[in-house]
């Protein structure tokens, strides 16, 4: 059995940043990653200073290369199958390949995954011509005829206004949901069409959108678009380990990312089920790592 001071579950921007800082802090650390980071489907990652436009694979490769300078940090490219508590407030981590690791502290940074309306074939186009974040992908589709798919007034108001910054040629589709009059009036004042029919199909080739088909028989030509997904964690580690989850599904922490369970911390999107940028996730990872290191120092001093 291999023993480590800290384990990081998830090798996205938050987890890798935490690993880098724990490496700098001389902590014997293991990072588990199964390659399912949410941004892997997109062509470019934007907004990370000195790396704007980098591909997700290249960003991850460079991050891992940085971490490999520190021989006290081990990268394990396996999915974690189970985590259990043992005596002395430690944990046993079992991987999909049968390896077992004993760790003293743990950072959950497994991220989130999108959930799309099940009647729309979004996955065929997601990351190529359909997106969720204009800051990440708006530049590539600027001034194009776009569709904005939002099933609630709140999402339509937010995403519709936002996408309008990159293209004035947008149509908002509710996928069969009814908007309030004030929502419709707001967009009509800008000449933005609202379609409340249910979407039956996105049409296109090789992930590039060409048209959107509705159950009314209407077909509109669009070359790209944005959608407001909901999000879910891809595992239930926090729940099974006893971490407090609030009514919104967020993992409850103190101001320093400690969960309600001793020695378990959380970083990145999995905390609040909310999408964010690489830079924010990386910043959260570094802050959590500093707190882990400080807690170990205080325990040993």
The pLDDT of residue 291 is 98
**What is the CATH number for 284?**
3.50.50.60
What's the rounded Cα separation, in Å, for the pair 234 and 59? 22
Do residue 53 and residue 191 come from a single domain?
no
DSSP β-ladder status, 113-115 and 2-9? unpaired
Residues 93 and 162 in one domain: no
Q: Does residue 203 sit in the same domain as residue 237? A: no
Of 49-58, 180-189, 214-223, 235-244, least confident by mean pLDDT is: 49-58
Asked whether residue 100 falls in the same domain as residue 10, the answer is yes
Residues 248 and 106 in one domain: yes
Of the three residues 178, 201, 227, the one that is the final residue of a domain is 227
Bridging pattern class, strands 170-173 and 146-149? parallel
- Does one domain contain both 107 and 140? no
Number of domains comprising the chain: 2
Res 87 pLDDT > 90? no
What global pTM score does this model have?
0.94
pLDDT at 40: 87
Residue 78 burial (10 A CB sphere; 0-12, 13-18, 19+)? middle
Structure tokens at 103: 């760790």
pLDDT-based confidence at residue 246 (cuts at 50, 70, 90): very high
Mean pLDDT of the chain: 96
Is residue 65 domain-shared with residue 19, that is, in the same domain? yes
Task: Note whether 36 and 183 are same-domain residues.
Answer: no
Question: Which of 213, 96, 91 minimizes the C-alpha distance to 147?
Answer: 213
- By residue range, what is the domain housing residue 137? 115-227
End of a domain among 171, 205, 227?
Answer: 227
pLDDT value of residue 178:
97
146 lies in the same domain as 190: yes
Give the DSSP per-residue string, 281-297. HHHHHHHHHHHHHHHHH
H/E stretch holding 160 reads: helix 153-164
Residue 80 and residue 223 in one domain? no
The DSSP bridge pattern shows strands 130-131 and 224-227 to be parallel
- pLDDT above 90 coverage of the chain, percent: 94
Across the beta sheet with 208-214, what order do the strands follow?
199-205, 208-214, 219-221
Domain boundary among 173, 198, 227: 227
Strand partners for 93: 83, 101
Residues 25 and 95 in one domain: yes
Asked if 90 and 140 sit in the same domain, the reply is: no
Tell me, what's the pLDDT at 284?
97
């Amino acid at each position: 059995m291999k023993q480590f001071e800290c384990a990081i579950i998830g090798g996205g921007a938050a987890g890798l940043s935490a690993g880098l800082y724990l490496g700098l802090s001389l902590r014997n650390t293991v990072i588990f990653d199964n390659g399912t980071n949410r941004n892997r489907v997109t062509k470019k990652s934007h907004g990370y200073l000195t790396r704007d436009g980098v591909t997700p694979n290249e960003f991850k490769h460079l991050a891992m290369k940085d971490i490999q300078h520190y021989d006290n940090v081990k990268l394990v490219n396996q999915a974690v199958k189970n985590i259990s508590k043992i005596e002395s407030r430690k944990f046993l981590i079992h991987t999909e390949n049968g390896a077992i690791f004993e760790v003293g502290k743990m950072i959950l940074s497994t991220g989130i995954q999108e959930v799309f309306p099940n009647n729309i074939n979004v996955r065929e186009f997601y990351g190529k011509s359909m997106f969720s974040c204009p800051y990440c992908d708006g530049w590539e589709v600027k001034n194009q005829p776009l569709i904005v798919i939002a099933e609630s007034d709140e999402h339509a108001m937010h995403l519709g206004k936002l996408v309008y910054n990159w293209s004035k040629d947008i149509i908002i589709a509710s996928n069969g949901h009814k908007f309030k009059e004030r929502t419709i009036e707001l967009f009509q004042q800008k000449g933005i069409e609202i379609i409340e029919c249910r979407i039956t199909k996105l049409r296109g080739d090789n992930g590039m959108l060409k048209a959107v088909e509705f159950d009314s028989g209407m077909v509109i030509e669009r070359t790209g678009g944005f959608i407001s997904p909901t999000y879910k964690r891809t595992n239930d580690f926090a729940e099974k380990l006893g971490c407090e989850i609030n009514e919104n599904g967020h993992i409850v922490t103190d101001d320093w990312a400690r969960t309600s369970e001793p020695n378990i911390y959380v970083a990145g999107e999995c905390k609040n089920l909310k999408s964010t940028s690489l830079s924010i996730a990386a910043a959260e990872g570094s802050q959590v790592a500093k707190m882990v290191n400080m807690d170990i120092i205080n325990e040993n001093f």
